[in-house]
């Protein structure tokens, strides 16, 4: 563990690696003299939209672990005002778990039909019936929660070439 702390003292194996990656990119950007981006699209580093990520952290601040909250404050990210958090939550589309799973499967089928495989980049977004599906993330999460899939869903994803 000492070797890991020497590389990155903020690294935590139980936290989402995407979160840690974006935090590290923001930290490097800010400590290198860059300003914390206030809006989405203002600063893109290694394919990550640091402004969109920072805005999401402000809204979701209360749902993070205290250590994550502390790390965010070290780079200037604090919780959004309560009204802004309420508005962000109210603006989210509400879908049942079954609807989300069906939409993810439809996105996987569309990607496979077009590309001939299901090796999807983590950040890939597939549009299905006018709805954006973060397919790469959905597939990663589906792999981790494979025990929650029905036999039919697992068989369909396997037929598309899902790497379990």
Q: Which of 91, 109, 126 marks a domain boundary?
A: 91
Distances (CA, A) of 154 to 4, 101, 106: 36, 11, 14
Q: Do 38 and 103 belong to one domain? A: no
Of 104, 109, 154, the residue nearest 132 (C-alpha) = 104
Residue 157 confidence (pLDDT): 95
Q: Do 49 and 77 belong to one domain? A: yes
d(CA 47, CA 95): 28
Q: Which of 91, 112, 142 marks a domain boundary?
A: 91
Q: In the predicted model, is pLDDT for residue 120 greater than 60?
A: yes
Q: Is residue 164 part of a domain?
A: no
Q: Do 103 and 86 belong to one domain? A: no
Q: Do 81 and 42 belong to one domain? A: yes
Q: Do 112 and 79 belong to one domain? A: no
Identify the weakest region by mean pLDDT among 54-58, 112-116, 130-134. Answer: 130-134
Question: Confidence class of residue 3 from pLDDT cuts 50, 70 and 90?
Answer: low
Q: In the predicted model, is pLDDT for residue 86 greater than 60?
A: yes
- Residue range(s) defining the domain that contains residue 64: 2-91
Q: Do 103 and 121 belong to one domain? A: yes
Residues in contact with 21: Cβ distance below 8 Å, sequence separation at least 6, in sequence order: 48
Q: In the predicted model, is pLDDT for residue 136 greater than 90?
A: yes
- Mapping DSSP to helix (H, G, I), strand (E, B) and coil, where does residue 5 land? helix
Q: Which of 41, 75, 91 marks a domain boundary?
A: 91
Q: Is residue 151 part of a domain?
A: yes
Q: In the predicted model, is pLDDT for residue 121 greater than 60?
A: yes
Phi, psi angle pair for 128, to nearest 5°: -130, 120
Q: Do 152 and 73 belong to one domain? A: no
State how many domains the chain has: 2
Q: Do 103 and 82 belong to one domain? A: no
Q: Do 85 and 48 belong to one domain? A: yes
Q: Computed over its alpha carbons, how large is the radius of gyration of the chain?
A: 18
Q: Do 24 and 81 belong to one domain? A: yes
Q: Is residue 16 part of a domain?
A: yes
Q: Do 107 and 85 belong to one domain? A: no
Of 106, 64, 55, 113, the residue nearest 84 (C-alpha) = 55
Q: Is residue 127 part of a domain?
A: yes
Q: What is the pTM of this model?
A: 0.54
Average pLDDT over every residue of 56-81: 92
- DSSP bridge pairs for 45: 48
Q: Do 64 and 25 belong to one domain? A: yes
Token pair of 55, please? 């805005």
d(CA 90, CA 106): 26
């Amino acid at each position: 563990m000492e070797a890991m702390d020497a590389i990155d003292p903020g690294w935590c194996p139980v936290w989402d690696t995407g979160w840690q990656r974006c935090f590290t990119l923001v930290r490097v950007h800010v400590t290198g003299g860059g300003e914390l981006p206030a809006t989405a699209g203002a600063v893109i580093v290694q394919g990550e939209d640091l402004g969109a990520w920072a805005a999401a952290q402000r809204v979701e601040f209360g749902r993070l672990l205290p250590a994550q909250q502390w790390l965010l404050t070290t780079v200037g990210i604090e919780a959004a005002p309560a009204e802004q958090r309420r508005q962000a939550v109210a603006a989210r589309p509400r879908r049942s778990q079954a609807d989300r799973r069906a939409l993810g499967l439809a996105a996987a089928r569309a990607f496979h039909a077009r590309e001939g495989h299901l090796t999807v980049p983590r950040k890939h977004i597939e549009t299905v019936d006018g709805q954006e599906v973060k397919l790469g993330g959905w597939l990663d999460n589906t792999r981790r929660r494979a025990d929650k899939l029905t036999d039919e869903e697992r068989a369909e994803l396997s037929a598309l070439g899902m790497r379990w």
